[in-house]
Amino acid sequence: MGNISDALEIRQKYKHFRILVIGRANAGKTTLLKRVCNTTEEPSIYDEGKNLVRSLRITVGDQRGVHDIRRAFTFASNPGFLFHDSAGFEAGGEKELKDVQAFIAERAKANEVEDQLHAIWSVFRAPPPLQ
């Protein structure tokens, strides 16, 4: 019985689970998160004031979405999970790697559990099937 009461106490104390999702652009990070959260809805940017702002990506022409790793996003149906997007690693792109390293270091120094990073998920695009 202690395990259940411990779990309930933890759930009441910590309202969010913060996850950094890293991987190449268009590797399927958002698709994975939708499946994990069992939703088809589009994610929303999470405002630390508890307001959800619609539209995760700002798209410029045909370029990939523009992300800010420091702005968490969530799904309205699963507000307990806060996700941060690495914006995708590209070959030779040092800026993205440095941004991720700085973000991880910043979150590691956080004193409050709610501000800390709880998990890092790497998403790899599966290779196409052999012909």
What are the tens digits of pLDDT across the range 75-125?
Answer: 988 888 899 988 776 666 788 788 889 999 999 999 988 889 999 988 876
Which one has a higher pLDDT value, 35 or 93? Answer: 35
Q: What percent of the chain has pLDDT over 90?
A: 18
pTM beyond cutoff 0.95: no
Could you tell me the CA-to-CA distances from 126 to 24, 28, 123, 129, 130 in Å, in that order?
A: 11, 9, 9, 9, 12
Structure confidence at residue 6 (pLDDT) = 76
What length does the chain have?
A: 131
43-47, 62-66, 92-96, 112-116: the lowest-pLDDT one: 62-66
**Bridge-based pairing state of the strands 73-75 and 78-85:** antiparallel
Beta strands in the chain (DSSP E): 17-23, 44-46, 52-53, 73-75, 78-85, 119-123
The answer to whether 83 touches 74, Cβ cutoff 8 Å, is: yes
End-to-end alpha carbon distance in the chain: 54
Task: Domain count for the chain, please give it.
Answer: 1
Q: Let me know if residue 2 belongs to a domain.
A: no
Helix (H, G, I), strand (E, B) or coil at 29: helix
Residue 84's domain spans which residues? 12-123
Q: Let me know if residue 4 belongs to a domain.
A: no
The answer to whether 100 touches 35, Cβ cutoff 8 Å, is: no
Q: Let me know if residue 32 belongs to a domain.
A: yes
Q: Let me know if residue 3 belongs to a domain.
A: no
Reply yes or no on whether the pLDDT at 45 is more than 70. Answer: yes
Phi and psi angles of residue 128, each rounded to the nearest 5 degrees, phi first: -65, 150
Question: Which one, of 76, 33, 81, lies nearest residue 55 by Cα?
Answer: 76
Q: Let me know if residue 70 belongs to a domain.
A: yes
Structure confidence at residue 18 (pLDDT) = 92
pLDDT-based confidence at 23, cuts 50/70/90? Answer: confident
pLDDT-based confidence at 39, cuts 50/70/90? Answer: very high
Looking at residues 45-59, what average pLDDT do you find? 55
